[in-house]
Amino acid sequence: MELKEIKELKTLSIRTKSPVEKLPNILGEGYGEIMKYIGELGIEPTGEPFVIYYNMDMSNLDIELGFPVAVKHPNKGRVQSSKIPGGKFATTLHVGPYETVEKSYNELNAFIISQGHEAQNWVIEAYLNDPRENPGEEPKTMIYIPLK
């Protein structure tokens, strides 16, 4: 766990709402739609796929999923040019199944308090690998919590 200053990131993303049980399908479809547009633009993402969680209402998650890109691009359909604001973040790497990520969140929130900081009310998860592409490899999720 550490505190990091992170620069603003330009992104191509889709903002939507979804119950948690539909999230895998929503993410799969959304990432596919964004990657199709990225392919049409002839560019590559500059980092890992991410999800910003604007709330933790499991019946109606307000999320933004996307990829960082080098420069701003035109909007196309649901795919919007957006950005992740820069600032100070608390970060941790969660290694293991997504079902166990709550423990990493609890530890990171305790770390934030121990460092005398206060968290904002949104979080980012960046997915560093895809175990479906590398069977046997543990999922790796970087968690970013912005600080006030």
Domain range list for the chain: 2-146
Give the pLDDT band of residue 18 (cuts 50, 70, 90). Answer: very high
Is the per-residue pLDDT at 140 higher than 80?
Answer: yes
2-146 adopts what CATH topology?
A: Multidrug-efflux Transporter 1 Regulator Bmrr; Chain A (3.20.80)
Residue 136's pLDDT band (boundaries 50, 70, 90)?
Answer: confident
Q: What is the pTM of this model?
A: 0.94
* pLDDT confidence of residue 7: 97
Give 1-18 as a DSSP string: -EEEEE--EEEEEEEEEE
Model pLDDT, residue 135:
74
Q: Is 14 exposed, middle or buried (0-12, 13-18, 19+ CB in 10 A)?
A: buried
pLDDT of 10 higher than 80: yes
Residue-level pLDDT at 137? 85
Q: Which pLDDT score is estimated for 130?
A: 80
Range of lowest pLDDT (7-11, 121-125, 130-134): 130-134
* Distance, CA of 70 to CA of 85 (rounded, Å): 15
pLDDT of 13 > 90? The answer is: yes
What is residue 45's predicted lDDT score, i.e. its pLDDT?
A: 98
The residue with greater pLDDT, 134 or 93, is 93
pLDDT for position 98: 86
